[in-house]
Amino acid sequence: MKKAVLITSLMLFSMFFGAGNLIFPPMLGFSAGTNYLPAILGFLATGVLLPVLALIAVVVSGESVRDMASRGGKVFGLLFPIAAYLSIGAFYALPRTGAVSYSTAVGVDNALYSGIFNLIFFGVALGLSWNPNGIADKLGKWLTPILLALIVVLVVLSLIKLDGTPGEPTSAYAVQPAGAGLLEGYMTMDAIAALAFGIVVIAAFKYQKVEKVRTATVAAALIAGILLAAVYLGLGSIGQIVTGEFGDGTAILNHAAASTMGEIGRIIFVAILILACMTTAVGLIGATSEFFNSLLPGISYHVWAVVFSLISFGVATMGLDTVLSIAAPVINFIYPSAITLVFLTLIEPLLFRFKWTYLLGIWTAVAWALLLAVPALVPYVEWAPLHEMSLGWAVPVLIASAIGLVIDGNKKRSRTVAQKESISV
């Protein structure tokens, strides 16, 4: 079991660790400057802790995000998983892996070159994900150790050779460093990805004939979370010690690689980024295809894998800007209900069985997200606490969940009294 957990943990880490995970931390370290500590803690909260909790919530509730989402009612139980898988699949996160790889490796604004590159990229990803039972071995045994080794080399050499000092915090990091870090962690979309990856992790353990799947999944989530946190801290520290003007994390890491290793360093950085994107792409194709195959068994896993690879190829070819323009609306709409669902699922076993707590909490989150999606209605919700941190939904959801908790508690007490009376009679 220990070997299976280790391999699956490495697979899970590589599935989480994509383009955004690589380039956000160094830019955070650079922009936060002397406010680095609260900023990186905020990032770790939403970029590590939340995904780990999300994956644990999946196994607590069943074997997939669909089992978990069904607690919000039949409509939510069907639509939320579909929206989650499409957002981390072919409509955003999956094409981003190809677009970011092309932007970094080639960087030429040419549709033909982009098309050729992404055709090869998604062709390789499709090949590696063709056998869903072999994903753990391909990622956990081979690709992830190579990826981690390259990252360690870059971080260690940067810490040894670079001698810059943190500067003054800029933009949001000067005012609300923790909040800005939270938002950066949001943008990795790993909390949504964790809900989707549950199906792959559980399937991997079953294929390896692990008996205690729930325990093994929790252990794998914790180990993957520790690895993510360590890598984020290392990458963030690079942003603290580089000198110069940089527009994004890609430029920071490229500079650090070239400064510490020369031209070979640039090649190593490109290899790190493409490998990170490739492992994520393989995981996303596998998870999304397995989900839709379970939803519509008449269409095979392989057909879904080809369809999502082709869609991602098309979207990625249109360029990184097109892909990234989709991100904010998708994240703002899905995250509130996803976070609500995760925390209620984790709290329920400590209390009693919920019904109205789920319904009121989740649908308040959905309603709030819908209001934010309509620009004309945004002024009506700006009053909410934490709105400036994109967390305006949190207090209304907390209140709605508390009301639901009172209703569920009263119903539980009524059932208990009725049972006692029937026994006494």
CATH code of the domain covering residue 220: 1.20.1740.10
Structure tokens at 2: 């220990």
Same domain? For 299 and 368 the reply is no
Tell me, yes or no, whether 30 lies in a domain.
yes
pTM: 0.85
Same domain? For 162 and 286 the reply is yes
Per-residue model confidence as pLDDT tens digits over 174-228: 888 888 898 888 777 788 888 888 877 887 787 777 778 888 888 999 999 999 9
Give the whole-angstrom CA distance, residue 326 versus residue 111: 19
**C-beta separation of 240 from 253 below 8 A:** no
Same domain? For 231 and 154 the reply is yes
Q: How many domains does the chain have?
A: 2
Look up residue 374 and give its amino acid.
V
> Is residue 398 over pLDDT 90?
yes
pLDDT band at 308 (very low <50, low <70, confident <90, very high): very high
Same domain? For 153 and 224 the reply is yes
Tell me, yes or no, whether 8 lies in a domain.
yes
Same domain? For 319 and 377 the reply is no
pLDDT for the residue numbered 364: 93
Same domain? For 241 and 135 the reply is yes
Tell me, yes or no, whether 344 lies in a domain.
no
Same domain? For 312 and 401 the reply is no
Same domain? For 301 and 370 the reply is no
Same domain? For 164 and 112 the reply is yes
Final residue belonging to a domain, choices 332, 362, 396: 332
pLDDT band at 421 (very low <50, low <70, confident <90, very high): low
Per-residue model confidence as pLDDT tens digits over 2-51: 778 888 888 888 888 877 788 889 999 999 989 999 999 999 998 999 99
Give the whole-angstrom CA distance, residue 302 versus residue 306: 6
Tell me, yes or no, whether 170 lies in a domain.
yes
pLDDT for the residue numbered 251: 87
**Residue that has been written with the tokens 């898988």 in this structure:** 85
Average pLDDT over residues 258-285: 87
pLDDT band at 122 (very low <50, low <70, confident <90, very high): very high
Structure tokens at 395: 């207090």
Apex 149 CA angle, 98 and 18, nearest 5: 25
Weakest-pLDDT range from 55-64, 222-231, 350-359: 55-64
Final residue belonging to a domain, choices 268, 298, 332: 332
Same domain? For 285 and 324 the reply is yes
Weakest-pLDDT range from 229-233, 240-244, 306-310: 240-244
Average pLDDT over all residues of the chain: 85
**Residue that has been written with the tokens 């939403």 in this structure:** 46
pLDDT for the residue numbered 306: 94
Final residue belonging to a domain, choices 283, 300, 332: 332
Average pLDDT over residues 308-317: 88
Same domain? For 33 and 62 the reply is yes
Per-residue model confidence as pLDDT tens digits over 401-417: 999 999 988 887 776 76
Same domain? For 325 and 373 the reply is no
- Cβ of 300: how many Cβ atoms within 10 Å? 12
- Could you list the residue range(s) of the whole structural domain that residue 364 is in? 351-425
DSSP state letters, 223-263: HHHHHHHHHHHHHHHHHHH--S--SSHHHHHHHHHHHHHTH
**C-beta separation of 195 from 338 below 8 A:** yes
Apex 188 CA angle, 52 and 197, nearest 5: 45
Tell me, yes or no, whether 345 lies in a domain.
no
Average pLDDT over residues 134-162: 83
> Is residue 349 over pLDDT 60?
yes
Average pLDDT over residues 98-117: 83
Q: Which pairs from 393-402 meet CB under 8 Å and 24+ separation?
A: 393/336, 393/364, 393/365, 393/368, 393/369, 396/364, 396/368, 397/336, 397/340, 397/361, 397/364, 397/365, 397/368, 400/360, 400/361, 400/363, 400/364, 401/340, 401/344, 401/357, 401/360, 401/361, 401/364
Tell me, yes or no, whether 343 lies in a domain.
no
pLDDT for the residue numbered 236: 93
Which letter does DSSP use for residue 56 in this model?
H
> Is residue 58 over pLDDT 90?
no
Tell me, yes or no, whether 203 lies in a domain.
yes
Tell me, yes or no, whether 183 lies in a domain.
yes
